[in-house]
Chains A and B, each alone.
Chain A
Amino acid sequence: MRTRALSLKTWERRWGYLFIAPWVIGFLALYLMPMIASLGFSFTNFNPATPEKTVWVGLENWSRAIFADKEALASVVKILSFIPICLGMSFISAFVLAIVLNSKMLLGKSLYRTLFYLPTMIPLVASAIMWYGALNAQTGWIDQLLATATGLPLTGQNGIRWVDSPSLIYVTYSMISLWGVGNTFVIFLAGLQGVPTELYEAAEIDGAGWWRRLFRITLPMVTPVLFFNLIIGVIGLLQYFTVPYVMNNGTGYPNDLTNFVMVYFYRQSFAYFNMGYGAVLAWLIFILGLIFTAILFGTQKRWVYYAGEKR
């Protein structure tokens, strides 16, 4: 009997490891070893065009990125300025959309959910192209709509130059990102539906108004969802690449403001083939993500509410 129990344990262990083997092999070959190797590369001047000239350069690449190369540091600052604008706009829109699409006031809720989700399915390259046209100050519809709605002369010469104006460019790119808001609002929607209705009923009996219920019940109850999506959102945006690359071919237009760190990483690694230096930029992206994740995890006790958990 004892040997039978033991062999069951061994049996489970063997099958378990067998089944997770694809991931383990992939993790070692595609994540762990490349990550370590990437750190190693960052101490060399490796260029795949001239691999025989590769030498160890110590911290040269690192000091270049952090102290000497203004473009590198600037590209980090640019993405760090863009992320709050983009995520702020996305999360607020997603939250408002989720409330609207969950509202009893809306007729045909499921149809509207589908329709608001629809732009999320459009390939990013295609949405960049459509937005680029629609934002054109001469023939684009956005300026014409604003002109019609406000009565102000906002077309042609006086048009809002969404893609050319340095002060607007991050807002413009964030607007394009709003087309990807579908997943976030669906997740918020599920979060809203997960809020026990007794809470609202109790609050209503206590005389709490709509806004009070929103800030005291709805918002705290969706913080766990927000927490996870904030991490995924920041990690994704640190690698923001497709839209700037399609809109201006990675030139950083206007005023180099869209020369984000991933765009710069791509240029250094795959246009100039400075892969040693590129590895430093890649590690900078990784370190930024790590710092951000650590901050969020460190502060989660203060603002993330987990139902059924002692506070």
Chain B
Amino acid sequence: MKTGKKSRSGARRGVFTLAITVALLVFVLPLIYGIVMSLKSETQMTASTHQLLPQSPATVKYQGKDLELYDVTIDGATRTLAALDKTRAKTTFVDPSNLSAPPIEWAGNWRTLKQVTKLDPHWDNYPTAWSTIAFPVLLKNTFVYAIINTFGVLLSSSFVAYGFSRFNFPGRGPIFVVVMTTMILPTAVTLIPTYTVFQALGWVGTWLPLIVPAFFANAYNIFLLRQFFMSIPMEMDDAARIDGANPLQILYRVILPQAVPALVAAGLFNFFYCWNDYFSPIVYLAGKSGLYPITVGLGLFQGQYSTHVTLVQAAAVMSCIVPLIIFFFTQRFFMQGVVVTGVEK
């Protein structure tokens, strides 16, 4: 009785899991589409008949020529034959399994026949897209931007978070409220004067406007790190202080080593934010194609190469690889960070 119930609920769980798997496949369908398209040949993309997978006509060598294969029904039996001579009224075939046999004549339009295709992924789309879009330059730019920016954010935000979590100073509460309020400020409202100042400094057209502000901390990371720092017992600070450490030394020797998970989470958020950033680079780097990150390069590529769908999709897939790999190895830290910023406020 009990085992019967168990196996029934096991079956229900299996069905439920299967249903969720189908939902997942639908959810990621555009990604699968992008990958599949990136492997198709350009001729297949422009062909009138639509094929789902990267396919090309299957052929067989016959007297030095490549013959295309078709499914032909002769006398009620369907056979796969190679077309030797194609005309509208009749087609001459040879049998690919017995090429020395005499050719077979078939009365009918060969265009009505189903062509036999084979799976033919065009991996070479990737190197082509790689060089067409100058991917190494874009990749390098994105990495430099994301890494320097993340370094700046972590350095400054851990300072500020340490200040808020460990020192009592007048106005601490209200100032922290102001920190949190900056989260709801749209970028646009500060952008024009900031842009004007950066232009006056000669920074527009360089990475400086994207990097320098990172060294002044931001609300999300201050919050995330402060939450974590507050969970580290004060006794550890006190012990270090008795040993004669000053607050800066305490931060670097006691707090930060304890806070590695939070630093990793904050760092990842910021890294991916930069990797994804499109708006700031097009504002500040407009026209400086040698400095573009992947996002901007990809956006332009989509505009200019819209007829080369396969290459555009290959470039789009390439741009996902680094974030997806990093995510796979760090997801635990990552999700914890999402929870801290999202739930605890």
Residues B160 and A20 in contact, CB atoms below 8 Å apart: yes
Query: Dominant SS at the B interface?
Result: helix
Number of B residues near A (Cβ < 8 Å) is 91
Whether, in the assembled complex, B83 has its beta carbon less than 8 Å from a beta carbon of chain A, the answer is no
Chain B, 304-335, CB within 8 A of any chain A CB: 309, 312-313, 316-317, 319-320, 323-324, 327-328, 331, 335
B326: nearest chain-A partner, CB-CB: A121
Query: Dominant SS at the A interface?
Result: helix
Contacts of A139 in B (CB 8 A): 45, 50
Residues A26 and B179 in contact, CB atoms below 8 Å apart: no
Contacts of B263 in A (CB 8 A): none
B266 CB → nearest A CB, Å:
14
Pick out which of these stretches binds chain B: A82-90, A102-110, A210-218.
Answer: A102-110
A282 to B163 CA separation, bound complex (whole angstroms): 33
Given known A-B contacts A106-B13, A225-B343, A235-B184, A269 and B191 have beta carbons under 8 A apart: yes
A243 to B90 CA separation, bound complex (whole angstroms): 52
1/0 per residue, CB under 8 A from B, across A213-250: the answer is 00000000000110011011001001101100110010
Which of A22, A140, A275 has the most B CB atoms < 10 Å from its CB? A22
Which of B169, B189, B213 has the most A CB atoms < 10 Å from its CB? B189
B265 CB → nearest A CB, Å:
12
A277 to B208 CA separation, bound complex (whole angstroms): 26
B142 CB → nearest A CB, Å:
9
A238 CB → nearest B CB, Å:
6
Given known A-B contacts A20-B175, A121-B320, A105 and B215 have beta carbons under 8 A apart: no
Residues A265 and B163 in contact, CB atoms below 8 Å apart: no
1/0 per residue, CB under 8 A from A, across B4-32: the answer is 00000000111011001000101111111
A28: nearest chain-B partner, CB-CB: B216
Given known A-B contacts A103-B16, A119-B28, A186-B342, A133 and B186 have beta carbons under 8 A apart: no
Besides A23-B160, A100-B20, A275-B192, 12 other A-B contacts (C-beta < 8 A): A16-B168, A19-B159, A22-B156, A25-B216, A31-B182, A34-B190, A107-B17, A125-B302, A129-B312, A130-B33, A187-B338, A289-B185
